[in-house]
Amino acid sequence: MPSLKDLKNRIDTVKSTRKITKAMQMVAAAKLRRAQEAAEASRPYTERFNAVLAGLAKAASGSDAAPRLLRGTGSDQVQLLVVMTAERGLCGGFNSSIVKLAKVKADELKAAGKTVKILTVGKKGREQLRRDYGDLLIGHVDLTEVKNITYPDAQGIANDLLTRFDAGEFDVATIFFNTFENVVSQIPTEWQVIPAKFDDVDTESQDTGYVYDYEPSEEEVLATLLPQGVSTAIFAALLENSASEQGARMSAMDNATRNAGEMIDKLTIEYNRSRQAVITNELIEIISGAEAL
């Protein structure tokens, strides 16, 4: 049975921990608002941009002049998985859910005889993948010093992917991230960005009955827009990840604060019972001594 001093020290330690988790919860709540607004503000542009690209891709499909970013290399043998996680932990299952989705995809591709390569964005994803998939890691993007995600940050990652694609290092690139839904719900998502894929874009809803003529041709317009489409997809994913991370951290720290409070209550009850037992024993000793006299 722990002594009164040990119990008192444990109570003080848990109280200090509760102060830290409460402070982290408040910081995450403040950051969440800005990150959520940025993620939600980017969605209409991303959806409309992809709808325009989908319409152009539909018109240019089957053409030998279609850009390589649209038609691909003609193979899907080498697959690049871009796993986008956070630089820091203490955010519940945010990082592990993304890594788990990427691992499932990697195992499926390897079982199908494909060559898998992994590029990590964020330290936590790299740490989790290094042990079992270390031989598949080909690069890492460190965003530790980035406080607010900007479009140039996404462009840097996109340029790296495009350079690797032009060099023939892979055939298909897929990004993995969490889509922000609300504070307690973040959805692990995979999105193929190279070659461009628009299966989830509803082009019919954008059809107004007009026929458009493009000058220059659809292929030339796509050649200019598709690299921007890769940057836009990565930027949207980074913003969704940022909001999801803060939401997950806020929820995790709230749970930790409540658990610390419950532990303090239990330890306080145990401390009071132990102190009462000590006092009772001392009274018994005093009474026994008095009777002996």
- Check which CATH number belongs to the domain holding 268 and give it: 1.10.287.80
Assess whether 173 and 44 both reside in one domain: yes
Closest CA to 240 of 28, 24, 84, 103: 84
Q: Is 143 helix (H, G, I), strand (E, B) or coil?
A: coil
Q: Tell me phi and psi for residue 27, to 5 degrees.
A: -65, -45
Q: Is 265 helix (H, G, I), strand (E, B) or coil?
A: helix
Buried b (16+ CB within 10 A) or exposed e, 48-85: ebbbbbbbbbebbeeeeebbebbbbeeeeebbbbbbbb
Assess whether 182 and 264 both reside in one domain: no
Assess whether 271 and 224 both reside in one domain: no
Residue 202 has pLDDT above 60, yes or no: no
Q: Is 144 helix (H, G, I), strand (E, B) or coil?
A: coil
Assess whether 197 and 283 both reside in one domain: no
Give domain status of residue 293, yes or no: no
Give domain status of residue 147, yes or no: yes
Q: Using the 8-state DSSP alphabet, how is residue 177 labeled?
A: E
User: The tokens of 245 are what?
Assistant: 């991370």
Residue 163 has pLDDT above 50, yes or no: yes
Q: What is the reported pLDDT for 77?
A: 92
CA dist list (Å): 10 to 37, 259, 275? 41, 14, 15
Q: CA geometry: angle at 119 spanning 153 and 238, to 5°?
A: 35
Assess whether 76 and 106 both reside in one domain: yes
> 62-90: per-residue pLDDT in tens?
666 778 888 888 888 999 999 999 988 88
Assess whether 214 and 228 both reside in one domain: yes
Residue 22 has pLDDT above 90, yes or no: yes
Give domain status of residue 292, yes or no: no
Assess whether 258 and 155 both reside in one domain: no
Query: Taking residues 227-239, what's their average pLDDT?
Result: 91
In angstroms, how far is the first alpha carbon of the chain from the final one? Answer: 33
pTM of the model: 0.83
Residue 238 has pLDDT above 50, yes or no: yes
Query: Taking residues 88-109, what's their average pLDDT?
Result: 91
Q: What is the reported pLDDT for 211?
A: 58
Structural domain containing residue 11: 4-20+254-287
Q: What is the distance between the alpha carbons of residues 198 and 47, in angstroms, rounded to a whole number?
A: 11
Assess whether 166 and 281 both reside in one domain: no
Assess whether 87 and 227 both reside in one domain: yes
Assess whether 182 and 279 both reside in one domain: no
Q: What is the distance between the alpha carbons of residues 4 and 268, in angstroms, rounded to a whole number?
A: 10
293 against 134, higher pLDDT: 134
Q: Using the 8-state DSSP alphabet, how is residue 171 labeled?
A: S
Active-site amino acid positions: 91
Task: Enumerate residues 6+ apart whose C-beta is below 8 A from 139.
Answer: 119, 120, 160
Query: Taking residues 197-214, what's their average pLDDT?
Result: 57
Assess whether 175 and 219 both reside in one domain: yes
Query: Taking residues 111-124, what's their average pLDDT?
Result: 92
Give domain status of residue 79, yes or no: yes
